[in-house]
Structure 1
Amino acid sequence: MKRMNLFLVVILSLSFSLSSCSIQTGVMSDNRFVIDLIVKMNQGDYWNTLRSGAEAAAKEFNVKLQFRAPNYEDDISGQIELVNQSIQNGPDAVILAASDYMGLAQVTDRIAYHNIPIISIDSEVGSARVKTYVGTNNYEAGQLAAKRMIELIHESGQIAVMNFVQAAKNASQREEGFQDYVARFPNVRVVDIQYSQSNQRNAEEITRNWLAQYPSLDGIVALNAESSIGVGREIQRSGKGGKVKVIAFDSPPETMGLLQDGVVQALILQNPFNNGYLAVKNAVDIIEGRNVPERMDTGIKLIDLDNMLWPENQKLLIPFVK
């Protein structure tokens, strides 16, 4: 019964992820606020869910939402160009998930120069002109991933870290939190840290090389959704599921299936739907002259087979279900 329920969770999550890709902002009257949402990548379960949250808020607050993103998360120049296009169009606010903390700083300052308020989402940007940040406490997320991995390997062993885009602030914050926690345990060694560029195939290849280079490897921590999928696939393909422990981020259907199969031992869940929703809500508040908090932490949760089917956790795994 538990397995059937879990497959229902996976199927529902997949169907909603697919439907979120096809959602389009409706035709709005000219007097409505226009908000540009510029994220790191135009594909992937995490970004689709974040977009759906933003669209839900746009509908509720009568806003025209314009979604913009490059094809790949490491396309920094492509994201800068999208921001420049947004500035030319003159929206009422810009919500930005910066792929590069410093690389997007100058163009973010340009947004503010044109008197367009900026809301940072998911990953911060190196500009003092940002009005508010909405998203995960990424340092704490890295610490939580480290804590569970240390428990799984009984405070002794070799682990590797699959990060994503080195210049992204959330990537560096997760890595810093992870490293700071692991440093407390002298018998745990981090053998390598690599960057997948949020590319599943890159993550697969890096994992394959790790398994060959470090035959005694005890665990891998993958710090975002695309990296997690790649790591999980290669661990499953190699037949080392359960032997090499895996901590993953986020909850694409494939990763949830790997958790079910014992290839992944735990997921660090963010709340992308709430991130998108609250970013749009904050943008509307700023446009209308209301104060907003400087930072809004949308929380994290560790999910494993023991708590995956709890009702409150299914709401995180499938935010579209009330």
Structure 2
Amino acid sequence: MVETKRITALLLGGALSAACAAPSGAAEKTWTVAYIAPSLDISYWQWVAYGAKTRAAELGITYMEMDSHNSPAEQMANVRTALTKGVDAIVMGPVSSTSTPPVLRVLKDKKVPVAFTGIGPQPGETDFTSSVTANNEEAGRQEGKFVCDLATERGGKQVGMLSLPQDRENAQKYLKGATESFKAGGCDLVQVLQTHGLTVKEAVDQANDLMTAHPDVKAIYGMYDEAGTGAAKVLQTRGLVGKVGVATADGSPTTVKLLKEGTIQGLFLQEAGGQGIEAVQQVYNALTGKPVTKDLALAEPLVTAKDVDSPESLAKLKRVYPPSAGAY
């Protein structure tokens, strides 16, 4: 009887040890996140990827990335492929806001958390974990005022805009904020040209069209980095540097250099890398039962030639693009 009791105690002790070890094993689960970009040919989305990959590594998350090549159909195919591969969460820069509803229906059915970066979901959609974007409307308002002031300083009130596609909710917010500031400052937005490919060549063509059609334009509002670069090239070719002001959103080694040279007067920095970092953090929080922030709008601080070399600006730029992209 004594021996039986001893064996029973040993068995119970072993079972208790195994039970105590179980939570530790569960905590060691390796999560997998897929980053689905609208186009990895565009540096901005490469920098979001850098931020996402960096944060995933810090959290011990397995990381994979996929390119939708600006195709809603390929975007959906990427989502299904990722699910087939067993990913636990998705971070996505959508092709457009209007492309997100079918994606969200699939992910809701599979109970897979998703965080958007840069471009938010279609207005009215709620079945997502987080939308990590910039504070686009406020940034649009601030940049709009800055551009209107540039035009006024140069003796005019006409301004032009090189815009992101207006089927994106971030572009709509930028335009809304900018329009309010133009109205308040008495500036006339004479033309809005939407990009199709986000290339510098396209921006050069559009800026040339803008200045040909509206030679009295005194400032150009760039809604994305290549727009600022394209506008700067046109002003250099036409001998209008300083006579026509330029500000742009995003920021890159190219536009930082143009800012220092005085060809561009202001950069409203959008944290591409920071958005990738925060989006991975949000889906990780969802997977581990921690609080998430549904709408996380990062500020877009203004940097000018006067303060671009300050420690504060350098810290901001390091959230925009990685050291491998170029100098700060």
| Corresponding letter in the other structure for 1:113 | D
> Is the Cα contact below 8 Å between 1:39 and 1:98 reproduced in 2?
yes
1:102 to 2:98 alignment: yes
> Is the Cα contact below 8 Å between 2:118 and 2:132 reproduced in 1?
yes
Give the one of 34, 57, 61 matched to 2:32. 34
1:107-128, Cα deviation, whole Å (9 max, x unpaired): 2221111111111221111232
SS, match of residue 98 in structure 2: coil
Q: How does 1:192-211 map to 2 (within 5 A)?
A: 192-197=191-196, 198-211=198-211
Measure, in 2, the Cα distance between the counterparts of 1:170 and 1:56. Answer: 25
Larger helix percent: 2
Aligned counterpart, 2:276:
276
Measure, in 2, the Cα distance between the counterparts of 1:75 and 1:143. Answer: 31
SS, match of residue 300 in structure 1: coil
Aligned counterpart, 2:250:
250
Q: CA deviation at 1:232?
A: 2.0
> Is the Cα contact below 8 Å between 1:158 and 1:217 reproduced in 2?
yes
Q: Which runs of 5+ in 2 are unaligned?
A: 1-27, 324-328
Q: Which runs of 5+ in 1 are unaligned?
A: 1-29
1:91 to 2:87 alignment: yes
> Is the Cα contact below 8 Å between 1:232 and 1:255 reproduced in 2?
no
> Is the Cα contact below 8 Å between 2:68 and 2:95 reproduced in 1?
no
SS, match of residue 35 in structure 2: strand
SS, match of residue 229 in structure 1: helix
Q: CA deviation at 1:31?
A: 4.7
Give the one of 145, 162, 185 matched to 1:147. 145
Q: CA deviation at 1:85?
A: 2.4
TM-score normalised over the length of structure 1:
0.84
Structure 1 runs (4+) greater than 6 angstroms displaced:
none
State the number of aligned residues: 290
SS, match of residue 154 in structure 1: helix
| Corresponding letter in the other structure for 1:207 | A
Measure, in 1, the Cα distance between the counterparts of 2:113 and 2:32. Answer: 12
Q: CA deviation at 1:231?
A: 2.0
Measure, in 2, the Cα distance between the counterparts of 1:54 and 1:192. Answer: 36
Aligned counterpart, 2:188:
189
SS, match of residue 49 in structure 1: helix
CA RMSD of aligned residues (A): 2.0
Give the one of 117, 120, 126 matched to 2:116. 120
Q: CA deviation at 1:102?
A: 1.6
1:1-34, Cα deviation, whole Å (9 max, x unpaired): xxxxxxxxxxxxxxxxxxxxxxxxxxxxx95111
Measure, in 1, the Cα distance between the counterparts of 2:74 and 2:243. Answer: 40
- 1:69/1:232 CA distance change after superposition, 3 Å: farther
Aligned counterpart, 1:262:
262
Measure, in 2, the Cα distance between the counterparts of 1:174 and 1:243. Answer: 25
> Is the Cα contact below 8 Å between 2:148 and 2:219 reproduced in 1?
no
Comparing 62-71 and 75-84, the one that deviates more: 75-84
1:43-89, Cα deviation, whole Å (9 max, x unpaired): 33322322221112111110011112234xx4333333322322333
SS, match of residue 268 in structure 1: strand
SS, match of residue 162 in structure 2: strand
SS, match of residue 123 in structure 1: coil
1:271-290, Cα deviation, whole Å (9 max, x unpaired): 22221111111111101122
Q: CA deviation at 1:256?
A: 1.5
Give the one of 48, 51, 54 matched to 2:49. 51
SS, match of residue 277 in structure 2: helix
Measure, in 1, the Cα distance between the counterparts of 2:244 and 2:165. Answer: 24
- 1:77/1:229 CA distance change after superposition, 3 Å: farther
Measure, in 2, the Cα distance between the counterparts of 1:165 and 1:194. Answer: 9
Q: CA deviation at 1:104?
A: 2.2
**Identity over aligned residues, as a percent?**
20
Measure, in 2, the Cα distance between the counterparts of 1:142 and 1:53. Answer: 24
Measure, in 1, the Cα distance between the counterparts of 2:318 and 2:236. Answer: 25
Measure, in 2, the Cα distance between the counterparts of 1:75 and 1:205. Answer: 24
> Is the Cα contact below 8 Å between 1:99 and 1:167 reproduced in 2?
no
